[in-house]
Structure 1
Amino acid sequence: MIYLAGLFQSPDKVCDDPTCPFHGSIRVRGRILKGVVISDKMQRTVTVRVDYVKYDQKYKRYEKRFSKIKAHNPPCINAKVGDIVYIGETRPISKTVHFVVCQIERQKS
């Protein structure tokens, strides 16, 4: 798609998934997050751990926190456990999935 051309490289593999941001009809809009895949046991879905910091007003310090986000994993990208990935916000794909994997930054060695 044109709107992802400046942000991410299109994968070499071609898929026929309708919810793929490169070969399907789903649009990526909103937040783009970076995280680590911690589970890939679901079909075409991965769980991504996104780390962030929150400021504690009382102690005037930052604390580390994390979120676990479920994201659609298109067959042309096929992220595995341990991969560092970029996920983009989309329309709701299912009850709990509102993100899609856009690119693998680094694969687990």
Structure 2
Amino acid sequence: MVSTQGCIDVSEHQEARNIGIAYPGLKAPEIACSDKKCPWHGNIKVRGALLLGKVSKARMRNTVTVEREYTVWVRKYKRYERRKSKIHAHCPPCIRVKEGDIVLIGETRPLAKTVSFVVLGVIKSSFNVSSQSRAT
């Protein structure tokens, strides 16, 4: 779980700004943050690619690893091959993310050595399947 340090109530802080991206299911977070690298409350511009992916790791502070699955046509075998890519993305404290969530990430300027994407929002939240299967 990403830490909530730096989060404050929206009534005390500025409203979330319009980032100029209209995507179904994407809305501004209810809580505000004081993170300079937040696209909603900071001064980061989102430009370039918008990608959907599944959060595979959320253990780093304010950074998550997003895994994308895609297919590639292999001409020799006349079949598709499944491949995966992992992308590190900055996760502002105002967006609550956990492993297994489907998130929308947007490309920005380089924020760190390996981070050039920022989490814009959670599209589909995951729930713990193993705890539900034990209950039945």
User: Normalising by structure 2, what TM-score?
Assistant: 0.75
Alignment of 1:7-22 (within 5 A): 7=23, 8-22=26-40
* Root-mean-square deviation over aligned CA pairs: 1.3
User: SS of the counterpart of 2:33?
Assistant: coil
Alignment of 1:1-109 (within 5 A): 1-7=17-23, 8-109=26-127
User: Structure 1, residues 10-40: CA drift from partner, whole Å, max 9, x if none?
Assistant: 1111111111111111011111111111111
- Could you list the structure 1 runs, at least 4 aligned residues long, displaced by more than 4 angstroms after superposition: none
Figure out how many residues of one structure are paired with residues of the other and give that number.
109
> Which shifted more, 40-49 or 6-15?
6-15
Contact 2:35 2:93 in 1 (8 A): yes
TM-fit CA distance, 1:9: 1.3
In structure 2, runs of 5+ residues without a counterpart are 1-16, 128-136
Q: How many angstroms apart in 2 are the aligned matches of 1:99 and 1:5? A: 15
Tell me what 2:7 maps to. none
Query: Going by fraction, where is strand more abundant, 1 or 2?
Result: 1
Identity value in percent: 49
User: Normalising by structure 1, what TM-score?
Assistant: 0.92
